Amino acid sequence: MKLEILNEIIKKKSSSQNFALLTNLTNGNSEIFEFGKLLSIDFENYKKQIENYHSLKKNGVIDGTQIFIQNFTKPIEVIIVGAVHIAQYLVDLFKNLNFVITIVDPRKFFITYERFPNVKIINDWPEEIFKKLETDSNNALITLTHDPKIDDPALKHALKNKFFYIGALGSKKTHTKRCQRLKESGFTEEEIASIHGPIGIKLGGKSGPEIALSIVSQLVLESNKLLLNSKK
């Protein structure tokens, strides 16, 4: 591999970009692939196959070719507000997926390294935290506390910064009251409708692990939509 290719990989990984490394196994030539970028003669005839493998995040030799593809996908940053029991199940499910997790909770009793080992935890109020965190449309938010003093500031920040996924735990009654508060704060019906509430795909489960699974399933679905839209 040429030194300039290696340096480009390091640069793109440090900036958390989505890209792939292509290698022609016949002659050993390599290059970086990104949607919209022109391909060299070594790869241009296989553009559709390359795009398909990149969209599906598949690594390996592309069927019917001598091209090896290695995908580098930007991790989705998920902020969980509320260090409750369900958050522990969420972390267990997220650990084998391409997500970076941060848990925020002002209640020191709940948010401990013993309960959340190997996860970034922040013991402070969301209203203060979001003044310091750098966030954008690649972020996702999950609120779990049911407490407006904790959840609402996080939801407002996520709406203003157009997080690609926003989900809030709570019953339909709780969510109706939540939506009314956001409307009174100046958010439009369209903005409020972007919140997944009650959160999660309807799996019919009631236990903590089942609720966590429904949330993760919904987030994975939305993150894959985000990836597909990024190539347009």
Partners of 28 in the beta sheet? none
- Domain 76-230 fold is Rossmann fold (3.40.50)
pLDDT of residue 207: 93
pLDDT digits (tens, 9 = 90+) for 59-115: 999 999 999 999 987 778 999 999 999 999 999 999 888 789 999 999 999 999 999
pLDDT at residue 169, rounded to an integer: 96
pLDDT digits (tens, 9 = 90+) for 2-28: 778 888 888 877 666 789 999 999 999
Rounded (5°) CA angle 225-221-80: 110
User: How do the domains of the chain map onto residue ranges?
Assistant: 3-72, 76-230
User: What count of other Cβ atoms lies within 10 Å of the Cβ of residue 7?
Assistant: 10
pTM summary value = 0.76
Q: Which two tokens stand for residue 216?
A: 């993760």
Task: Extract the tokens encoding 132.
Answer: 């310091």
* Res 109: pLDDT: 92
The number of helix segments (H) and strand segments (E) in the chain equals: 8, 10
